[in-house]
Structure 1
Amino acid sequence: MTQPADATGRVLPAKASVVLAMLLLVYIFNFLDRMMLSILATPIQADLGLSDSQMGLLGGLAFAVLYSTLAVPLSAVADRTSRSMVITIALVFWSAFTALCGVAQNFMQIFLARVGVGIGEAGGVAPSYAIIGDYFPPRRRATALAIYSLGIPIGSAVGVMGGGWIASTIDWRVAFFVMGGLGILIAPAFKLLVKDVPRVDSAETPAQPALSITAVFLILAKKPSFWFMAFGAAFSSMLGYGIGFWKPSFLIRSFELDLWGAALFSGGVLLIGGVTGMLAGGTLADRLGGDRKWYPRLPAIAFIIGAPIYAAGVMTDSLTLAFLLFLIPQGLNYVWFGPVLTAVQHLVEPRARATASAIFLLINNLIGLGGGIYALGVISDLYAPVYGDESLRISILTALPLYFVAGILMLLASRSIARDWIEEK
């Protein structure tokens, strides 16, 4: 049997489709463990006596600070050693701490368990981007990254619906035990099937040593498109993570749904809207990417169109209309993943991809994941004396203009992206 090869004839150690499928599976567990907390917020708050601000800390800063910062050194290690091994170890680590969330008896215990989840997940995403960059040629890379990023809506939906079903029929603690245990079980299969591509810069040139974090940062520092895309993604993620986390609680409070009803609503929006938007973004980027400006321009258009539709969904009192309206911006606000993640891969040499992706994720997650969930919780607490159970609705509406800010930053990135782009030989 001959080994698989890419379009350039380069020999690959495994089939690209199998590798992508396994990376997607791990990413599903990444977001399953991360976002399951959103549907479990109501029973956790009732059991442990937590406020919206405290839940915001658990969903945001407790997870995001070390997740964002450790991703950079862990990705540098992955660039120098084995990307697949780093991901495998990370999977086991975050899954174990997910299970530990189920034994927490107070705020500090579950806070520390969430910190552990964040530490583990720091080693998962950026090395996966780099492996995809190794296995897929440029003309297919945006689509491959979009398929990988389906882990976000699928994992979030499975976490919300699976966690909601277990919590409503058994107990919220069991949901953490089950999901954490499943993640540990798939780790051996992942390491067996996902192999690192030998490091080469071209078909003729031997691999060069990986660049240091400082060297990669200095390269990116000279590229305006990177910073506009990173902060544009970060501001959009403040709303994406924030609304995604608080949507089940918003539905329970404002529409009087039970836990399972909120799980079905949220999971349905994530699956239908999220999967559609993710695939559309990657496919369009590959088709329009001959003009590099479209990589940030597509997300800009999506953010600006999606914001007012999101506002209409939040303001309506009709559950059916809210579902239909949420589908559109849910899709539009996932368009950015394929185009932007591909663009970041092309701002540096192949040997620096994991580190560059980690620096991008540091900005995106520290601001977006760390700030969005907590900020919406704090705003909700501030509004609660005036608006009562409607405080989350008003909190979301207050934050929606951030999508316009994200769109403007992406448009600014389109002005310099062609100049900053590194073409592969």
Structure 2
Amino acid sequence: MLKKISAVLFLIILASCALIYVQSEKIRQNFTALLAENAVQVENLHVNLFPRLTLRLDNVHYTLTNQQHIQAETITFWFNWQGLFTGDLQLSNLGMHQVEFVQPSSTIKSDIILVDLLLTLRGKQSVSTLLDQIKAQKGDFPPVILSAMLKNHQGDQWIITSDWQLQGNSILLSYVNLELTLQNKKILNTQHIDFLGENGEVHWSEKTGYLFHFQQGKLNQIDLGHLLGNWQAGLAPITPQFTLHGQRGDAQFRLQLQSPTKTSPQTWQIQAEKVAIAPLLTSFGLTELVSGKANVDIQLVSDNFIPRTGEFAFDVIDGKVKGLNLLTLISQYVPLNIDESMKNIDTTFDFAHAKFHWLPDEIEVEQAKLAHQYFTLQSQGKVDLIHGRCDFLAHIAVRDPRYQSLSLPVHFFGNCQSPEYKVDIQRNFRDQLKNFIKEKLK
């Protein structure tokens, strides 16, 4: 009896192995025919049965147009085991490694490489059905979890994660998270940018490109509110036109990417109204020296999307200079009749304007003006972004008509979070003081 059972088991195992071999060869043949049908060139095609059923393509080359093509070091498909016996393969995962877009005849080449990509299907999907839907460009595709890492030749890294579903010409997004980490460079004073978009949709057409919106967006934890945007781009070289609008309450912003031309570089243009300035400064690694709501105008010069220099202009209304009591400073030199409650650690102001030029390692403040009930301040200076040091020369004029001829020169220096100051009683100020006394003695 035992011999009969062993013989039956042996025949079942042998038949299963034969079926697996036949089916694996069938998979190989079907995919080889599919690749040839779509003019996809592959150096090697491997079918692996253990530990998971996978099909791997090595050195893949696909021509998009006469000039553009895609090349990948490997593309791997993962299948569910049960499909091997039923003959209806079900795809569970898709992975890509070292993917590049190439346009040999172009003088401009994209610097960005798709290093790794993994798509995980959150539902069972027949390969044959999936291919039919892709060709027909319609049908309900299963939800997909995406994880991708991109790099450029300088080592800057993008990590993208998303949960989405493709429906015709639209992508429904539960969320999309983009993390940018810079290598040996900064955007203002941070090497890390984090964007999160939630509850969104992307719609594509040849006429409009990619139109997208998110119910909620965040940038480095700054709440951007509702987002609307448009993206139009070629694959290689990447020559995009990109705009993004955001609104949260009375605060709103507009961001636009301008492609490079023969006479101008690639630029980011940002305009914002009534945005809270303190979280904006801290999110980019700058000292939270000023608070209040601001109107902002920014132009950033970029290389392959990464800003490297920029021009900034801020107009702040009803704000506060934090950690610096300018009224106490002024009252040491000019008699002011001010409320004692105003002599606190911060200095409120009615209006402030600042214009500065951002370089990779420092900020050059060309002009900074501040208007207060009792005084006005004008200054110029620099911020060392590497060491967090500030160096400013300011001139403070009291609004009291009796002291309008006096302008107090103050040198602010040291740690930006708690700057020191020194009143520069130089010849110019002494002359002002002498003239002031002469006027009062007449």
TM-score higher than 0.5: no
Higher helix share: 1
Structure (1 or 2) with the larger CA radius of gyration? 2
Higher strand share: 2
Which structure is higher in RCO with an 8 Å CA cutoff and minimum separation 6?
1
